[in-house]
Amino acid sequence: MPLYEYECKQCGRVFEKLVLRFTSQKPHCPHCESAQTEQVYSAFNSVGGTRSGSNLSPKSCGNPRFT
C-alpha cells in the first residue's frame, strides 16, 4: 500500500495516509475530521550518493575487469 500526503483545506494541516489503490475516497483529516482534503506531492528523499549521482570509479565498481 502506498503512503500518500494530503493537505486539509479546512485547517491547513498536512498528514500522511496509507491508501489502497482501488479506493477512490479521499481520507478525512485526522485533526479536524474535514473531508476537504487534497493529495499533495511529496519531496523525493534519497540517502547517499553525490551531486553528480555517482562517486564510483571503474576500479571501485566491483567489476573484475577493473580490479
The strand order across the sheet containing 3-8 reads: 14-18, 3-8, 37-40
pLDDT digit string (tens) for 30-62? 999 999 999 998 776 667 655 655 555 555 555
pTM for the model stands at 0.58
Q: What are the grid coordinates assigned to 65, written together?
A: 575487469
The angle subtended at Cα 48 by Cα 57 and Cα 7, nearest 5°, is 145
Q: Cell numbers 540517502 correspond to what residue?
A: 47
Q: In percent, how much of the chain has pLDDT > 90?
A: 39
What are the sequence ranges of the domains in the chain? 1-41
User: How many CB atoms neighbour CB 63 within 10 A?
Assistant: 9
Tell me which fold the domain 1-41 belongs to. Answer: Rubrerythrin, domain 2 (2.20.28)
